[in-house]
Structure 1
Amino acid sequence: GVIAAQNRQRLEKVFTPKAEAAWHLHELTQDLNLSAFILYSSAAGVLGNPGQANYAAANGFLDALAEHRHSLGLPATSLAWGMWSEGMAATLDTTALARNKRDGMLGITSTDGLALFDAALCSPEATLVPARLDLTELRARASDGAGIPSILHGVVRPSARRTATAATAPAGQSLAERLAGRTPQERGELLLDLVREQVAAVLGMVNPAAVDLERSFKDMGFDSLTAVELRNRLTEASGARLPATLVFDHPTPAALVELLMDQLRPATAETAEDLSVLEELDRLERAMAGGPAGERADGAQLVLHRLKNLTALWESLHSDGPGDLDLDSVTDDEMFGLIDNELGLS
């Protein structure tokens, strides 16, 4: 389980056979002339592994015990094994295997494992990590900003191909900035793409478009681990504060999009009327920015004149003076007359 789900029983279940048993062996044999003291630890304690908080802690104890014995001049080797391709690993489903692959961990065969074991016995180091790492996948993750364990920063460099691709994206632009100035439909489409991409990444799907918006996460095969991973991915991508129970409270991708639409709603525009005006101004701004470079001078002057008149109209409608126009009681004729006057049409 994850850290928040730990309790005394869960900790005891893994600490008793791991940490406590190892400590008893240490105490019972420290005065004997041993040639070797070998501990089977796990890469979970070195690199981390989602949903194995107690297991990672117990194995971290084994690594520390090996270092402690070395400090006392006693033999010890703690092997923080990576994933094996046989045994329990053979029972993993496709989602779990895809998650391990994204984390850059490949399976070890029995032949490779025996060779790594022999090599470890020849090493003077107290703690070693016999594991197969997919450096290509880890470089890709580093380039995409997905994050890798800090202990690997010295051996994993972002791939040149991914770095070049990332350079074409807006540098440092947050999702909120990408959403700013867009219509509700455009924001919905952008968030829909985001949710589909993250769901597909967690499930190991090649095509994000294949994610069914109305299908429940439970039916897709999500469990507690994949639920936490999706929540973490969306939190990092969106900057929004999302609950750990995200996929249970919002059980479909469509429901997630609605939540993000609400979480990332622009802070301006307190009313529907204000929102529609701002959206129209956003469209106008984009139209002006994308207009023909060689627009005629008289046309540009006409646009400038209209913009000045619209500014004056807005100021007259929202001035702080005693003569404010009451928009709730004004008649249609009075409103049209004001607009005609401001635009110079009367």
Structure 2
Amino acid sequence: GLVGASVAWGPWAESGMAADEAVRSRLGRGGVRPLEPKAAVGILGSASGCFAVADVDWERFVPGVTALRASRLWDEIAPQGATTSEQVGGAVGLRDRLVGVVGVARRTMVTDVVRGQVAAVLGFADADGLDASKSFRDLGFDSLTAVEFRNALAAETGLKLPSTLVFDHPTPSALAEFLLGRLPDASPDEARDAGTELDRLEAALLALSAQEVARLRVTSRLQQLVKRLDGTSTDDGAAGISAKIEAATSDDIFDLIDNEIGTR
């Protein structure tokens, strides 16, 4: 006949999964600290019903959670002064840094932000040497790091990002390309320069599978483009052959047929 209690515990310190340094570091970046056992157990003496017990760093926790969607729940629970992702991170971070930045520099800045967040969630000291064309899976992502990465990037950019972010855009380069399309331009009439478009093309092509490369005939089309840029397009080649034929003698024509076409 006594009132029961149902408790949702945060991670415990000193034992269990949270005792692992990598897990503790990951939780800390998300704003959840391990519970001190004595203090946590003491709460049971004065609580009943259904409740959660967690040691939360609100300044870290709230921006990451509200990056997914706004919620009145956190407005009511978080202490006065805690900020949401709309007040920190992307809103006063990347977007402000991108003001006035155009072309290749703009793309480089966004790519560096992606690489920096990758390094952070994977526990790297820095992003130096991190290959932006390498897939997130090969870099060491799992389901937990994918969620943490999405949350951190949403807070940094101020964008609402899908839960399938790293699967839809499987490399840092491809993801940077996606973000560039979502972030506001430096100015409405900004013209994309050739370097920017080449970077965009490179990112898109590197994200293709071998099957897609074959289906779209990417290699042959690029080779044709290179010939046109070098001034050696097939049209120029055809014009050169026509000029040679016009100046050729009868013997030259017969030699051409024998050598290039073959005799019957």
C-alpha deviations, 1:58-110, integer Å up to 9, x for none? xxxxxxxxxxxxxxxx422233322124665168682x43321123333346x
Shift of 1:253: 1.5
Q: Which secondary structure state, in structure 2, belongs to the residue aligned with residue 154 of structure 1?
A: coil
Query: Whole-Å Cα distance in 1 between the matches of residues 159 and 120 of structure 2?
Result: 19
Displacement of 1:141 in angstroms is: 5.5
Residue correspondence of structure 1 range 115-194 to structure 2 within 5 A: 116-117=40-41, 119-121=43-45, 123=46, 125-133=48-56, 135=57, 138-139=58-59, 145-146=63-64, 150=74, 152-154=77-79, 173=92, 175-176=94-95, 178-194=97-113
Task: Name 1:83's counterpart in structure 2.
Answer: 11
Which residue identity is paired with 1:106? Answer: R
Residues of 1 paired with 2:116 and 2:35: CA distance? 30
Q: Which amino acid aligns with 1:107?
A: P
Deviation at 1:220, TM superposition (A): 2.5
SS in 1 for 2:7: strand
Q: 1:204 to 1:152 in 2, by over 3 A?
A: farther
The root-mean-square deviation of aligned C-alpha atoms, in Å, is: 4.1
2:27 maps to: 100
Q: CA deviation at 1:146?
A: 4.2
Percent identity between matched residues is: 34
| Closer/same/farther in 2, CA of residues 250 and 140 from structure 1, 3 Å limit | closer
Runs of 4+ in 1 over 6 A off after TM superposition: none
Structure 2 counterpart of 1:98, which letter? S
How many pairs are equivalent?
A: 183
**Equivalent runs, 1:151-300 vs 2, <5 Å:** 152-154=77-79, 173=92, 175-176=94-95, 178-209=97-128, 211-240=130-159, 242-264=161-183, 266=185, 268-269=188-189, 275=192
Which residue of 2 is the match for residue 313 of structure 1? none
Unaligned 5+ runs, structure 1 = 1-32, 34-73, 280-346
Q: Per-residue CA shift, 1:185-233, capped at 9, x if unaligned?
A: 1101210221123223322334244543233211222112322332333
Cα deviation 1:119-174 (Å, max 9, x = unaligned): 523x15434544444x4xx43566xx54577164127757xxxx9xx8xx9x9557
Rg bigger for which structure? 1
CA distance in 2, matches of 1:245, 1:97: 25
Amino acid at match of 2:78: H
Please say if residues 120 and 128 of structure 1, whose CA atoms lie closer than 8 Å, have aligned partners that are also in contact: no
SS at structure 2 position matched to 1:191: helix
Q: Which residue of 2 aligns with 1:342?
A: none
Match of 2:3, SS state, is coil
Any residues of structure 2 matched to 1:322-337 within 5 Å, and which?
A: none
> Is 2:30–2:148's contact at 8 Å kept on the other side of the alignment?
no
Q: Within 2, Cα distance between the matches of 1:203 and 1:224?
A: 12
- Look up the SS of the partner of 2:141 in the other structure: coil
Change (3 A) 1:221 1:81: same
Shift of 1:175: 4.3
Aligned counterparts of 2:27 and 2:51: Cα–Cα separation in 1? 20
Q: Distance in 1 between matches of 2:120 and 2:7?
A: 31
d(CA) in 2 for partners of 1:203, 1:191: 19
Which residue of 1 is the match for residue 220 of structure 2? Answer: none
